[in-house]
A and B are shown apart, each in its own frame.
Chain A
Amino acid sequence: MRRILAIARKEFLHIIRDKRTLIAVLAMPLLQLFLFAYAVSFDVKDIPTAVLDQDHSVASRQYVNTLQQSNYFKITQNLGAMSQVDGVFSRSEDVAVVVLPPGFGDAITAGRPGPVQVLIDGAEPNSAQLGQAYATGLSRVYGFKVATDQADAKGVNLAGGGLSALTRVWYNPEGSSSAFLVPGLIVLLLTITTVQQTANTLVREKEQGTYEQLVVSPIKRIELMVGKVLPWAGIAALQVVVISGIGLVVFQVPFRGSVVLFALSSVLFVLCALGLGLVVSARASSIETANQLAMMISFLPAFMLSGFVFPLTSIPPVLQFVSYLFPARYFVVITRTIFLKGGGFDVLWPQIAALAVYAVVMLVLSSLLYRERA
């Protein structure tokens, strides 16, 4: 125990002495948080929109009304038929058409999600963002889950049925994209610091020659390992608290779920990340290799294969398979569900179990690698 503390204290001193590391672990995540949250902001206002109400029910009229009153859309005209859509786009009168198909009202009364179709002018440079803005905006307007059909109408003849509609369900009634981003960002930032830094610690020691001295001391590998990751676990915990706090206060992200469940799953995730870092640390021969490996197994998967930016259903099957090999995808689901939907253990247990298994496997693997003598 005393030996573990000695290692942890020394590790902590390294961290606070090294200005670069300090900035990397404290300031960078905050900077990234603000950069990401603003740069990838999908929040759009007053989008010129046409409405095609094919349902003519009370619900559909009410829906159009709320749409009208929201800040997101400016309804410029009501269309009578699908055939008019092409003209609206080609004359650039509106950038989007909201279609309420027959049966919308019935679905709402039956308590099912009301199907809403959004046709976006594919000629708009950022039609994809618009689609998201619409999806979030529309669901906000109606205050509950709305299945949204989003389609690109890039010069297609709508009457000819050339639409490939993609159905998504959005859980983000606030319609704010930061609400959607911040929980994912927690995962990304946590992964980067913990994996990267733990990957470095042992390698640095080997390069300095101090590792040689440590292996001759009576310290056990497991003590060395635990002592080395303790300060990083602490810093990771701090990061979770700070980023979540900023998310809640500055970006007004809701937190609907259980704090305990969130804390528990964060601990599991941090263990996974520390384990990954230690595995790299035990294997890499130089700091450069360690950094590159850490980048490969932390940043890239957490960014691309976690559902943070790309929905996992829209990436190629091979990559979907690969995504299961990294802990980020499970934790993104967990954070989003806990923050935005308030889901509990009953829905999240598969992800939590996956993280637990992952953490155990990584820690066992890294302690095996550490036991091997250099």
Chain B
Amino acid sequence: MRMPWNPQQPESCVPDSLVHSDDAIVVSGMRKSFGDFAAVDGIDFTVKKGEIFGFLGPNGSGKTTTIRMLCGVIEPTGGGARVMGYDICSQAELVRANIGYMSQKFSLFQDLTVDENLKFYAGIYGLSAAKFAERRGYILEMADLRGREKELTGNLSVGWKQRLALGCATIHEPRLIFLDEPTSGVDPTARRHFWELLNELAAGGVTLFVTTHYMDEATHCNRLAFIYRGRIIAAGTPHEIKDELARDTILQVEVADGEGALAALEGEPGIKEAYMQGAMLHVNVGERSAAEADLPSRLGSAGFRVLGTDRVEPTLEDAFVHLVGKQGGRA
């Protein structure tokens, strides 16, 4: 327990000089260890007010742990952060009153109706009856749930549940919302619809902190940070991150036995990176090199049937593999 009257400002707190009035989140050297395993290993970043900030990383990289610290649910074991101006350790209650949070599992009560769920969260956030009526109308509209107020939440399809969860998480109109993989397990149409809602919120000046491992969603974000094994390995706009690969050539190869071809290419000269992307083999041959031209024949002579080769624009996935590769690990 940190004593608020402790005259010696603990080093984990972020000094006021680092926090600007247009910063929604300022993270400084934040760490979280479970035993001697560092789930989050000293991260720094800043999120500006009104931004959609994408926090990307593979499974187990520390995304949820970061969010839980920023929401004041668990205390960091080192470093600290300011969220909407409040210190996450000493002012956790204020932090929690000023943010919205949509957890990885949709936190709806399946045995309660749509209305009862809304009413419950309104009660938790202490909304007045008038305010609740207003918010309820807005959320039902936004989530396309008009006429289904009395339906049990458990009977709704995933897309609706997800939008209702967003409604519940934002019932108190927070200016900053954390969304932990909000679109996992949702079909593409519902995902698109959901992102429209997020864009609307952002247009209204709300700051969004979104984790995901769908790379295509990253393009919706104003800025991105990649977390890998508890460390931030890259940050910037989607453009800046793709630019990391600007001079590299990415070849998309359609080959009958992708996995086999992948194994054959591993560590070959002229091959910077090779990995599967969906059914396709992606090969980064670096700056234009001889490898580009003779890749099909090299694969062919190794006994793989190449059906086609294309030069493609680097995607965020390509950037991600590249970034992880630079860290000496694999995604």
Contacts and interface: CB of A to CB of B under 8 A. Distances in A.
Interface string A147-191: 000000000000000000000000000000000000000000000
A14 B120 contact: no
Contacts, number: 77
Nearest to B73: A215
Interface string A339-374: 000000000000000000000000000000000011
A209 B103 CA distance: 8
Interface in A9-40: 9-10, 13-14, 17-18
A259 to B, nearest CB: 35
Interface in B74-124: 74-75, 93, 96-97, 99, 101, 103-112, 116, 119-124
Interface of B: 71-75, 93, 96-97, 99, 101, 103-112, 116, 119-126, 168-169
24 contacts: A2-B123, A2-B126, A3-B126, A6-B123, A6-B124, A7-B124, A10-B112, A13-B112, A14-B111, A17-B112, A208-B107, A208-B109, A208-B110, A209-B105, A209-B106, A210-B107, A210-B109, A212-B107, A213-B101, A216-B71, A216-B72, A216-B73, A216-B96, A218-B93
A81 interface: no
Contacts of A17: 111-112
Contact of A13 (B99, B111, B123, B169): B111
B74 A373 contact: yes
A248 interface: no
A9 B112 CA distance: 11
A212 B105 contact: yes
B73 A214 contact: no
Contacts of B111: 13-14, 17-18
Contacts of A213: 101, 103, 107, 168-169
A217 B73 contact: no
A309 interface: no
A5 interface: yes
A13 B109 CA distance: 10
A216 B103 contact: yes
Nearest to B126: A2
Contacts of B122: 6
A220 to B, nearest CB: 8
A210 B103 CA distance: 8
Nearest to B122: A6
A22 to B, nearest CB: 12
A217 B97 CA distance: 7
A10 B120 contact: yes
Contacts of A374: 73
Interface string A196-237: 000000000000111011111111000000000000000000
Contacts of B106: 209
A6 to B, nearest CB: 2
Contacts of A9: 119-120, 123
Interface in A46-75: none
Given A6-B120, A209-B104, A217 B109 contact: no
B101 A10 contact: no
Contacts of B120: 6, 9-10
B123 A5 contact: yes
Nearest to A374: B73
Nearest to B108: A210
Nearest to B123: A6
Contacts of B119: 6, 9
Nearest to A15: B111
A7 B124 CA distance: 8
Given A13-B111, A373-B74, A218 B125 contact: yes
Contacts of A2: 123, 126
Given A10-B112, A213-B101, A3 B74 contact: no
Nearest to A5: B123
> Which of B73, B96, B111, B112 has its CB near the most chain A CB atoms (within 10 A)?
B111
A214 B125 CA distance: 10
A213 B74 CA distance: 13
A148 B20 CA distance: 87
Contacts of A218: 93, 96-97, 124-126
B124 A214 contact: yes
A208 B106 CA distance: 9
**Leading 3 A-B pairs by shortest Cβ distance:** A6-B123, A209-B105, A213-B107
Given A216-B73, A217-B96, A218-B97, A13 B124 contact: no
